[in-house]
Amino acid sequence: MSLSKELEALKEFHCEDDRCVLSVYLNTYPGDPQQLNGGWRIHLKTGLKRIGEYITASEDEKELKAFNELKKKVTEEVEGKKNNLSKSVVIFAAIEPALWSVHYVQVPVKTSFHWENHPMTEEMEYMYKAYPESGVILPSYGEVRILDTAMGAVKDELVYEFDSGVETWKIRKTESTNHDRGNGKKTTAGPALEARPRTQIKGFYKGMEKVVEKLKKERGWREIHISGETDLANTFAETLREKPASCIYKNLNNSKANDVIHQIFEK
């Protein structure tokens, strides 16, 4: 399910009880001074504790039981990812009817906790408007690397290689969302690709525009961003039907996916 469709489903979600949905916006950005020494853990514990105290005062045992289950589940979820946290965590959860929606995003949020009869999606919608589902394309001579992103986070990664034997582009099997790609070691394309005259670049990318259009439709991209050497980035952009949202003249092909995203969306 695309993020836009998931947001629509969340906006329609309601429960019959007065309060049953826990919405958590947690800032986990390591660069934030308040997050030093795992400050997010204190904020998570404190925020959930306050809601628990509020429910306890209402003397509704059923509501308190449901909240305590969600409290445990949310805490275990975030603690389980403590060594690989992004800038923020957004969680919407309920016991009855069941709801569990977790998002680790590269967009900073203000920490807040809500206990209502529906998910508090306003902040999530704002983030999505600023960082919609987007395709990030990194063209080079040997390959075209494509990152499928939403809200500043990488959902999937695809790599297309040029087969000089049949003059066409083919997808290379790779693990989804390979954040470890890019170890600082320079990689080079094969001799046949490196020898290709730069005047033939446009013809070189022939066929990739159809791949991009298909991905855009399937993945629900609202925007396309391109990053690469000046001539490669500009020429690839010219093959597309629509002008890209941005064109950055940097060769980021050997960078980790999250580093690429950082440079694209925080330029």
pLDDT of res. 183: 41
For the chain, the distance separating the N- and C-terminal CA atoms, rounded to the nearest angstrom, is 29
pLDDT of res. 198: 56
CA distances to 37, 94, 119, 254 from 15, rounded to whole Å, are 37, 9, 10, 47
Please name the residues in contact with 263: beta carbons below 8 A apart, sequence gap of 6 or more.
Answer: 227, 248, 250, 252, 255
pLDDT of res. 115: 97
- Strand segments (E) across the chain: 21-27, 88-94, 99-105, 112-116, 134-139, 143-150, 153-163, 168-172, 223-227, 246-248
- Strand segments (E) across 85-219: 88-94, 99-105, 112-116, 134-139, 143-150, 153-163, 168-172
Element (H, E) at 67: helix 61-80
Residue 213 near residue 235, CB atoms below 8 Å = no
pLDDT of res. 261: 87
pLDDT of res. 38: 73
CA distances to 3, 39, 160, 161, 251 from 207, rounded to whole Å, are 28, 49, 11, 12, 22
Relative orientation angle of helices 39-58 and 61-80, to the nearest 10 degrees: 170
Could you give the domains of the chain?
3-129 (3.30.960.10), 131-265 (3.30.420)
pLDDT of res. 17: 67
Count of alpha carbons within 13 angstroms of residue 102, beta-carbon side = 13
The Cα–Cα gap between 73 and 169 comes to 45
The ranges of the chain with pLDDT < 50 are: 176-193, 195
Please name the residues in contact with 173: beta carbons below 8 A apart, sequence gap of 6 or more.
Answer: none
Please name the residues in contact with 200: beta carbons below 8 A apart, sequence gap of 6 or more.
Answer: none
